[in-house]
Structure 1
Amino acid sequence: MREDFLHYLWKFKKFDTLNLKTAQNEYITIIKTGDYLELAGPDFFNTQIKIGNQKWAGNVEIHLKSSDWYLHNHEKDPAYTNVILHVVWENDTAIFRENNTEIPVLVLKDYVTREVVENYNALISPKTWISCEKQIKQIDVFVFNNWQERLFFERQERKSKFIYDLLEETNQDWEAVLFCLLAKNFGLNTNGSAFLQMSKSIPFSVIRKESFEVENLEALLFGTLGLLDEEKEDVYFKDLKFRYFYLLHKYQLEKTCIIPVQFFKHRPDNFPTIRLSQLAALYSRHQNLFSKIIALKSVSDVYEVLNVSVSSYWKNHYQFDKESPKKAKTVSKSFLDLVIINSIIPIQFAYSNIRGESISEDLIELMNQIAPEKNAIIDKFDSFGMQSKNAFETQTLLELKNEYCNHKACLKCAVGIELLKNN
């Protein structure tokens, strides 16, 4: 038995509400179950009930055992002084307010049918990849579509926290925040942390000033990541190294220690050298990239803005000192799709939130234009008959799996609630 099950029972009144009595043997009438806000303090706010002939308005606290009240030190917390009813599964001790009056207790197990409990156990207990994997396809399309929208925006809210932290670090410079996001994305999973550290180590004012010469940008990026620390005979390497130390002196920058970048297990087109050259090319091409990114409404427009290649040297190199057949090495469509999902959409969402604007439909439309992602989680949902047509759907399934299924939060999930309701 879990406490969230009791929250579900109370919120949706999944028990016999006609003959309720407190543990003190007084009749209870529920007028309003209250608001389930999941904040600090009591579980349900603004509840209205009638106990005996007295109408009460206040809060409801829910526990598995009544003694949990003392276990959680609620008797010392002023936030719980307005609790009008203590809802529990087992009543193992009387609970008193600070003024020594007893708090009425409702023992839910006396009013919940065995069938409701069995349905809950059947949903929550299976040791499967997700609890509802045999039933999820049965969910009403309208219910699931609405849930997907909520999942998508919950995902954006979570991603926004990282963006707001970056805003604080960069003194509210949106261009600098975008640079950090894009750098992390260009580093992919393996080098994302190193690229992010690099982007934070270079004041964006320096990136702005040096963006007119792509070699200077490459020198800053490569040098900050320690890729110019060795001694090589390569002419371009020596040129970048000279530029890097000149720029350090010019802007009085300190050489910082960054996580070493990884080449191992990467396809050559994803080598950090190639991604850094593409990132430098992007900022050399666009001096006011943020204002352009915020205005983008279609995937084709994003592709046009972000469609960059490497500098001349990297067209026939993947690493310094090692020449290779000449290749343009333009960013691929699949890579740009990841940039849209992980950088463009989140920063548009966060920016509109701060400005008090609603662009929900625009964001969903943009995601609908992107091909579905391919990974193990999406493949697993596909095996249950949950095929995704676009990136909006794959993003919502990732959120569902990682934030709900992995935590067995079935009773906070529209799918779980619908299955229990139908059962």
Structure 2
Amino acid sequence: MVFTEDFLHYVWKFRLFDRLDLRTTEGEELEIFSAGQHNTHAGPDFQNARIRIGDTTWAGNAELHLSSSDWHRHGHTGDGAYDSVILHVVYTDDQPVTLANGRRLPTLELKNRISADLYQRYHNLVFGNQSVIPCEASIGRVDPLTMQNWLTRVLVERLEKRAEAVDAALTLNRGDWEETFYQYLAANFGFKTNALPFELLAKSLPQNFLAKHKNNPLQIEALIFGQAGFLDGEPVDEYPRSLKKEYDYLRKKLKINPIENHLWKFLRMRPQNFPTVRLAQFAALVVQSSHLFSKILEVKEVKDLRKLFSGIEVHPYWETHYRFDKESLPAAKHFGQASVDTVLLNTVALFLFSYGKHMQQQYYISRALKLLENIPAENNHVTQEFTTLGVNIFTAFESQALLELKNNYCAYKKCLHCGVGIKILKPV
């Protein structure tokens, strides 16, 4: 069976070893007051540990290795960062370690102090042949409080990582929150399949260009469809012909060029989600909204946030078309509740969180989390997997957290860094 340093860290951190009559490898009495804080950066593994060796109490760092000879193999000899180590915790003591000042480094060997049962449960969890996640046989029995606390933490981790990307975009936009929000909102309208062309479209058509034509819906639609590359040919129907006429004029006036039309994907998409329909909905939102992000910051109630995106009605042409010059059976193309939820989840909640982090205002962070608690859970293969394992998923708060858990913990078998894994491993 495999023994890892991560497991040794876990055993030390939670003191899951036999502490009866503890002694160093040189036979001195040892008492552990604090294992210290786990350090995941450069330097000793645990900082600010407190121990007693003999009659002397020490405060400093602890370093952990599978074998004491790893001290030399890992290059700690002569490294000043390790001069403050007060205890070397090892699985096997195979070689004494002497510090630069000539002092023998006190060592605690754990080889015979870790229960076989604990190790077996760890081995089964991390190295078993599970098909979905390492703890698939146990996660459904983890108590609700542990699950909720851990899902909250990983959800915040997910939002913090995404907020870093928002900050980078904000820098490129010279601190303009409205423009950055507009670009993210556009990408959201494209779902995953057409997120890139939607984002390129928004960057090629800044909000200040659109603001000058707010009172003319036809010109807004012409700019959006024209910049998307859908007005390059010679349309037949009156509506696209009108759009082309307006766009040809505005294109010269604004000195803009469309993105490549081939970037848009139609294949294997439901007609209701064709990029042409989504562009029509996006144009309708632009027409009815101004300073949208500022409004989002001011609105306090979730129901009022929904109203900002509800009731978006597209041009009547799209009621009988999915593409230009190709008539179809009548079908509603309004911006439905599911689409509103998608925007609230992927853009609004993210920007409330990002703004709160950027401005150091917890109020907006709390609003972002509350919003996610009021959006129905996503239905995808990850949430379906967790549901079959007995995990209750009701809101986007939970589904987003479980996506992070699966992709950044379960997929890498980081069970010893996971609150759920730690709970399952801990002795009863």
Q: Same fold (TM over 0.5)?
A: yes
Matching of residues 132-151 of structure 1 within 5 Å = 132-151=135-154
Structure 1 stretch 128-137 or stretch 76-85: which is displaced more?
Answer: 76-85
Counterpart Cα distance in 1 of 2:261 and 2:23: 64
Counterpart Cα distance in 1 of 2:261 and 2:84: 52
Instruction: Classify 1:84/1:234 alpha carbon distance in 2 versus 1 (closer, same or farther; 3 Å).
Output: farther
User: Is 2:381 aligned against 1:379?
Assistant: no
Structure 1 stretch 46-55 or stretch 154-163: which is displaced more?
Answer: 46-55
Q: CA deviation at 1:71?
A: 4.5
Counterpart Cα distance in 2 of 1:306 and 1:132: 40
Verify the 8 A CA contact 1:193 1:259 in the aligned structure 2: no
Per-residue CA deviation, residues 101-126 of structure 1 (Å, 9 max, x unaligned), is: 55433332232122221121122222
Q: Which residue of 1 aligns with 2:45?
A: 43
- Which residue of 53, 56, 77 corresponds with 2:55? 53
Q: Which runs of 5+ in 2 are unaligned?
A: none
Q: Structure 2 counterpart of 1:338, which letter? A: T
Q: CA deviation at 1:99?
A: 5.0
Q: CA deviation at 1:83?
A: 2.6
Matching of residues 62-101 of structure 1 within 5 Å = 62-75=64-77, 78-99=80-101, 101=103
User: Is 2:402 aligned against 1:397?
Assistant: yes
Q: Which residue of 1 aligns with 2:351?
A: 347
Q: Secondary structure at the match of 1:189?
A: coil
Instruction: Classify 1:102/1:209 alpha carbon distance in 2 versus 1 (closer, same or farther; 3 Å).
Output: farther
Counterpart Cα distance in 1 of 2:210 and 2:168: 20
Q: Which residue of 1 aligns with 2:164?
A: 161
Structure 1 stretch 411-420 or stretch 50-59: which is displaced more?
Answer: 50-59
Q: Which residue of 2 aligns with 1:410?
A: 415
Q: Structure 1 counterpart of 2:349, which letter? A: I
Q: Which runs of 5+ in 1 are unaligned?
A: none
Q: Which residue of 2 aligns with 1:325?
A: 329
Q: CA deviation at 1:98?
A: 4.9
TM-score norm. by structure 1 comes to: 0.90
Q: CA deviation at 1:329?
A: 0.9
* RMSD, matched Cα: 2.6
Q: Structure 1 counterpart of 2:175, which letter? A: Q
Q: Which residue of 2 aligns with 1:120?
A: 122
Instruction: Classify 1:96/1:365 alpha carbon distance in 2 versus 1 (closer, same or farther; 3 Å).
Output: same
Q: Secondary structure at the match of 2:212?
A: helix
Q: Which residue of 2 aligns with 1:356?
A: 360
Q: Which residue of 2 aligns with 1:213?
A: 216
Q: Which residue of 2 aligns with 1:263?
A: 266
Structure 1 stretch 253-262 or stretch 375-384: which is displaced more?
Answer: 253-262
Verify the 8 A CA contact 1:388 1:394 in the aligned structure 2: yes
Verify the 8 A CA contact 1:33 1:44 in the aligned structure 2: yes
Counterpart Cα distance in 1 of 2:75 and 2:222: 58
Q: CA deviation at 1:82?
A: 2.6
Counterpart Cα distance in 1 of 2:42 and 2:262: 38
Instruction: Classify 1:204/1:115 alpha carbon distance in 2 versus 1 (closer, same or farther; 3 Å).
Output: same
Q: Secondary structure at the match of 1:112?
A: coil
Counterpart Cα distance in 1 of 2:72 and 2:296: 53
Verify the 8 A CA contact 1:14 1:112 in the aligned structure 2: yes
Q: CA deviation at 1:264?
A: 0.7
Matching of residues 164-203 of structure 1 within 5 Å = 164-203=167-206
TM-score norm. by structure 2 comes to: 0.89
User: Is 2:288 aligned against 1:304?
Assistant: no
Q: Secondary structure at the match of 1:110?
A: coil
Q: CA deviation at 1:96?
A: 4.8
Q: Structure 1 counterpart of 2:348, which letter? A: I
Q: CA deviation at 1:95?
A: 4.3
Q: Secondary structure at the match of 2:194?
A: helix
Q: CA deviation at 1:25?
A: 4.2
Verify the 8 A CA contact 1:297 1:366 in the aligned structure 2: no
Q: Structure 1 counterpart of 2:186, which letter? A: A
Q: CA deviation at 1:348?
A: 0.7
What fraction of aligned residue pairs are identical, expressed as a percent? 39
Instruction: Classify 1:235/1:93 alpha carbon distance in 2 versus 1 (closer, same or farther; 3 Å).
Output: farther
Counterpart Cα distance in 2 of 1:93 and 1:257: 66
Instruction: Classify 1:329/1:114 alpha carbon distance in 2 versus 1 (closer, same or farther; 3 Å).
Output: same
- Which residue of 230, 240, 249 corresponds with 1:227? 230
Counterpart Cα distance in 1 of 2:98 and 2:204: 56
Q: CA deviation at 1:78?
A: 4.5
Counterpart Cα distance in 2 of 1:67 and 1:210: 72
Q: Secondary structure at the match of 2:263?
A: coil
- Which residue of 92, 107, 112 corresponds with 1:110? 112
Per-residue CA deviation, residues 315-340 of structure 1 (Å, 9 max, x unaligned), is: 33211221223444111111211111
Verify the 8 A CA contact 1:219 1:243 in the aligned structure 2: yes
Q: Structure 2 counterpart of 1:346, which letter? A: L
Q: Secondary structure at the match of 1:17?
A: coil
Instruction: Classify 1:303/1:80 alpha carbon distance in 2 versus 1 (closer, same or farther; 3 Å).
Output: same
Per-residue CA deviation, residues 188-214 of structure 1 (Å, 9 max, x unaligned), is: 011112222332333333233344433
Q: Structure 1 counterpart of 2:54, which letter? A: G
- Which residue of 272, 289, 309 corresponds with 1:286? 289
Q: Secondary structure at the match of 1:370?
A: coil
Counterpart Cα distance in 2 of 1:76 and 1:244: 70
User: Is 2:13 aligned against 1:8?
Assistant: no
Instruction: Classify 1:92/1:299 alpha carbon distance in 2 versus 1 (closer, same or farther; 3 Å).
Output: same
